[in-house]
Amino acid sequence: MSINETNSELLASLRPDTQLAGQTAIVTGSSSGIGEAIAHVLAASGAEVVVSGRDAARLQGVVDSIAAAGGRAHAVPANLAGSYADLRTFAREAAAALGGRVDLLVNNAGVYPVMPTEAMSDHDLDAILATNIRAPHVLVAALAPGMAERGTGSIVNIGSWMARVGTSSGAMYTASKAAIEQMTRNWSAEYGPRGVRVNTVAPGATLTPGNAEFVAALDAMTASTVAGRPVRPIDIAYAVRFLVSDQAEFIHGSILDVDGGMVGTRLKF
């Protein structure tokens, strides 16, 4: 693997392995970007994956791509900003698609309006609270008890480098990611003793289809980092695969930064 290879090139060249053979997984927000990469990587390692999102056609495209590569996937549409009943229905339908057993849950779906506080609409504020905080909480409440009853399972939440630094805009978004980090620690303490590992991957500035119009800004933000470039979705996916694998069996309640050194280092003063 070359650091100069693109996300698309790396996804297309994934080599199947058996790290997660026999495991089942739900990846929220997986019709594109980081979630799509996570779904592909988990499936390439043998997991049977539910991909979810609001666009049924895009979901089916991801499923077809995974199947073409020899993996197994199911499309289960979901609006994670919907009602509590909608979220619980999604959890049941996703579990049913996987034969009634969910081993891995990746809470990836999120919205990211980053703007000055006074510019944020009530609609955007509600969307952040519903998608970034409420949905992971409801899904964990619905699915973690089954994992705990079996004595095994893994949950990975997708956070952000912005959760632990102060920025001049995006207070609510960054607060939502700080919340998911704290929920990770609490859920680890709550479910870990019963065999369910809970961790967070915190991406740095990541180039995805959703922010492709800001590529120049992302390049500028990351030029002085150790990596010197934006994060690729597959970089996040590799970290998720590690955290749900047996190789990470002693990692509980941790925040894994995948940010090219953005938060932990400074090359220029």
User: Catalytic site residues?
Assistant: 173
Q: Give me the torsion for CA of 140, 145, 147, 150, rounded to 10°.
A: 180
* 157 φ/ψ angles, rounded to the nearest 5 degrees: -100, 140
- Neighbour-count burial for 26-38, b at 16+ CB within 10 Å, e otherwise: bbbbbbbbbbbbb
Q: Where are the beta strands (DSSP E) in the chain?
A: 24-27, 48-51, 72-75, 104-107, 153-158, 196-203, 255-258
Tell me if residue 239 falls in helix, strand or coil: helix
236 class by beta-carbon count within 10 Å (0-12 exposed, 13-18 middle, 19+ buried): buried
Amino acid at 174: T
